[in-house]
Structure 1
Amino acid sequence: MSVTSVTHLNFRGEARAALDFYRSVFGGDLATVTYQDAGAVDDPAEADQVMWGQVTAENGFRVMAYDVPSRLPWDRGENSFFVSVRGDDAAEVTEYWEKLSVGADVVQPLGPAQWAPLYGMLKDRYGVVWVLDVVSGYGG
């Protein structure tokens, strides 16, 4: 048996734009179901918002997202989660960093760290905090 963990991001009206952006960074396929598609429209203004969405790439990247309906509480929060992307190829990780960093607030610039050949943290234009690093052996 195998188990896969997928980060599921919650937005308020920005899920499609965020998923499109993540697809532009990591590649892969985008699938979405709107509230209209599912026949689950509570508010006509939200009919075209994402009830379920996912980006799936051949390189192993996966992320899911949806738009929390206005009838439910939602708060972006502060430091409520990070999305961690780990790779073994510095060039590939750097390419993801460069794309994600457009319009982002850099928390820790991508560079060598005591525990990794490359490590960086940023908050993207959608308020999602990303940690990118190159995997190294742990010698602790």
Structure 2
Amino acid sequence: MSLPSSPRPRSVGPLKEISWRSVSLRTTRENGLTTTGERFFLCAHGETPDEVAALWARLAVGGTVVEALGPAPWTPAFGMLTDRFGITWILDATPER
């Protein structure tokens, strides 16, 4: 499978030109709501908070934290980050029963 080349800029009214490179895909999280222009995230679920924390530590190197890893109402560990390659990850641990 090959990926298509980037689209040619096109006229879009007063903006004159737009191309895929001009679109920001930054992900933010405020008050429990995620805002993004991305088409997908990768999710990783661990059995324990320690397992999730170990993966978090590796993915966070050179990345950007969207929401710090910590407890959430539905899980003992939850966090979101964008890794150094621009992929956004959602990490969480299996809730205790």
> 1:41-93 CA distances to partner (integer Å, 9 max, x unpaired)?
xxxxxxxxxx5xxxxxxxxxxxxxxx7353x6594852221101011122211
TM-score, with structure 2 as normaliser: 0.62
1:113 is aligned, of 44, 50, 72, to: 72
Match of 2:44 in 1: 85
Share of identical aligned residues, percent?
A: 43
Pairwise CA RMSD of aligned residues?
2.5
Does residue 68 (structure 1) correspond to residue 3 (structure 2)? The answer is yes
> 1:10-51 CA distances to partner (integer Å, 9 max, x unpaired)?
xxxxxxxxxxxxxxxxxxxxxxxxxxxxxxxxxxxxxxxxx5
Does residue 101 (structure 1) correspond to residue 60 (structure 2)? The answer is yes
- Give runs of ≥4 in structure 1 deviating > 4 Å: 72-77
- Gap runs ≥5 in structure 2: 8-18, 26-36
- Gap runs ≥5 in structure 1: 1-50, 52-66
Q: What is the count of residue pairs matched by the alignment? A: 72
Q: 1:68 to 1:92 in 2, by over 3 A?
A: same
